[in-house]
Structure 1
């Protein structure tokens, strides 16, 4: 993010944090396992939908998804000093669902960022879990995916809740796992199909959770 305002968002907004995230997991003594990379086309853009277990979700996805990604972020993050400015310059997109016009502007900003394999990542729960269990998935993420006509890829995250829980600074080395599921086409879907799509992706993500998180 620091380099992006100076050198552009496509590479400098992704590659430095990609390696920084890998180093962070290594320094935190986290053992990382990934599954499903063979299901992705590196030249295809996707919308990745993930559960949100903890702060280490960011390091796990940035470091080990191995896709050039931009984040769909909450508006509240924009107000954090430096983070908001740097995120915007890095090409990440802040969601505004307050009006139809605002949502349209969000989708337009997202469309401007995707090309040649650049993808979006969304946490549809909207916040990190307090219990380790998955929360309700909000529709906003799916409106964006539907409007962009990109395949949705559910990804299951296991372990960050154990490594660094929400509202704590106690870091506990442990296992992290990232499971990439089959892409789901969205071309041809209508607004009426979104509730079923939400349930389907949530069920897929839930199916690969470790038992203690189900």
Structure 2
């Protein structure tokens, strides 16, 4: 049964909807033998945020859904909308679907992302645009800066290390692995010129990933 948004605040609605995907993600990780350690939860502000994370592998999403305490939607390829049940729950989670082959649709996805954030829902973006598969953090695309500026929400950088060990570095065979997540202090856009943000946030995440890698 669909939950009526009008009956709940954005935060309460997200917490209710998130019970199913969080349960799903937790079971996926358990069956795969994945252990996860998270730090920096104290950095999470109240209200909607734009999470910006490096993108190691396919397990990034279930790891973050299961362990980041603030519910979020995320950007996904439009092809996922063809998958029954999963696409329904993604829509309930306020995910945004993007067709990168269609410029008009890509611009619409920016508008949709801003709208979700302004409505009080948090979002997760992977600004690398593709999985690094453990081969270092790739250059960030700048679209997330415009989204955060237009929505006027803080950015929470996330560093994640170890998800590529589960699948991508094993010829796509799933094996047990240990993953570390670090939530970094949130960034208010008014704190520095926007042209500095892209390099600054990427640098923060790269340094945190290197530290996590050394700690494992």
- For the criterion TM > 0.5, the same-fold answer is yes
Instruction: Show the counterpart of 1:129.
Output: 132
Instruction: Show the counterpart of 2:27.
Output: 23
Q: 1:164 to 1:86 in 2, by over 3 A?
A: same
Q: Does 1:35 align with 2:39?
A: yes
CA distance in 1, matches of 2:35, 2:107: 44
Contact 2:96 2:109 in 1 (8 A): no
CA distance in 2, matches of 1:47, 1:206: 18
Q: 1:104 to 1:29 in 2, by over 3 A?
A: closer
Which range moved further: 28-37 or 88-97?
A: 88-97
CA deviation digits over 1:8-32, x for unaligned, max 9?
5634542211122122212211121
CA distance in 2, matches of 1:175, 1:137: 25
Which range moved further: 176-185 or 91-100?
A: 91-100
Note the C-alpha offset of 1:73. 2.7
Instruction: Show the counterpart of 2:10.
Output: none
Contact 1:157 1:178 in 2 (8 A): yes
Q: Secondary structure at the match of 2:209?
A: coil
Q: How many residues align?
A: 202
Query: Which of 134, 155, 159 lines up with 2:158 in the alignment?
Result: 155
CA distance in 1, matches of 2:43, 2:107: 35
Instruction: Show the counterpart of 2:3.
Output: 7
Instruction: Show the counterpart of 2:48.
Output: 45
Deviation beyond 6 Å, 4+ runs, structure 1: 211-214
Q: What 5-or-longer segments of structure 2 have no aligned partner?
A: 5-12
Q: Secondary structure at the match of 1:209?
A: helix
Contact 2:180 2:212 in 1 (8 A): no
CA deviation digits over 1:124-148, x for unaligned, max 9?
1111124531111111122111111
